[in-house]
Structure 1
Amino acid sequence: MQLPADAVAATVLIEVVRISALPTRRGAPYPGTPVAHWAGTEASTALALIESLPGSEQHRCGFSPGWSVRAYDDSLDLALFEAAFCITCHEVRMQGPTVPPTLATQFFDPDALPARTLLSRFRKATL
């Protein structure tokens, strides 16, 4: 999976969100409960894991994401990007000021080791 390179380089904090609904308007953050904040090595490891997600074909489910990550730079003001993951349809939707249209929708293999590892990290964050 491809992330915006400049945003990845600037990221100092990742907020993990357990999504509860779809946004009410285009570009709004995915609603949900922040369950973890990853900084330093933990954040860079998560970004590397996301970037290593192998591609897949689209599966139709209506896009019902369960998790998102929001990346922040050292200002901790506005998220550089948010990536919402739907395991069922293998889709990631990204939004934010650093996301070009070509990266906004991508597909990944949820059965691949990096995807299973990422999902495990998301689940552990809620414990």
Structure 2
Amino acid sequence: MLIPTEAVDGTALIEVVRLSGLPAGRDHPYPGVVVAHWAGSDVAAALSLMAALPGSEQHRCGFSPGWSVRAYGEDLGLALFEAAFCYTCHEVRMRGTVVPPALATQFFDPSSSPARTLRSLFRQAGG
């Protein structure tokens, strides 16, 4: 998975969100419950796992993500990016202040070691 350099360099905090649906609009965050906050070495580990996600082909499921991460800079203002992961259709949708359109939709291999580890971290964070 490709993550904008500005996000890798500037992320100070990641929120892990257990999603409950799709956003109400284009500029709205994915709805759900924030189940964890990752900082310091946890941010670096999460970003490394995401960057290590190997690509995959699209599978059709209608995009029903279960988890998202929201990455924030030191100022904790608007999210640098939010990435919503659908392990069924192998799709991650990313948006935010540093996300170029070319990176908005990507596909990953959910059976890969980084994807399994990331999903395990999500589940440990909150169900």
* C-alpha distance in structure 2 between counterparts of 1:109 and 1:65, whole Å: 14
Displacement over 4 Å in runs of 4+: none
Aligned to 2:67: 67
TM-score by length of 2: 0.98
Distance 2:113 2:104 in 1: 23
Q: Quick one: which amino acid aligns to residue 115 of structure 1?
A: A
TM-superposed CA distance for 1:6, in Å, is 1.0
CA contact (8 A) 1:12 1:71 kept: yes
Q: Which residue of structure 1 lines up, in the alignment, with residue 55 of structure 2?
A: 55
Percent identical among aligned pairs is: 68
1:91 aligns with 2:91: yes
CA deviation vs aligned residue, 1:72-109 (integer Å, no higher than 9, x gap): 00001110000000000000000111100000000000
Q: Count the aligned residue pairs.
A: 127
Q: How does 1:1-127 map to 2 (within 5 A)?
A: 1-126=1-126
**Structure 2 stretches lacking a partner, 5+ long:** none
Partners of 1:25 and 1:110 lie apart in 2 by: 27
| Other structure's SS at 2:33 match | strand
Aligned with 1:93: secondary structure? strand
Shift of residue 27, structure 1, vs aligned partner: 2.5
Describe the SS at the equivalent of 2:45.
helix
SS for the counterpart of 1:48 is helix
Gap regions ≥5 residues in structure 1: none
Structure 1 length as normaliser, TM-score?
0.98
CA contact (8 A) 1:27 1:95 kept: no
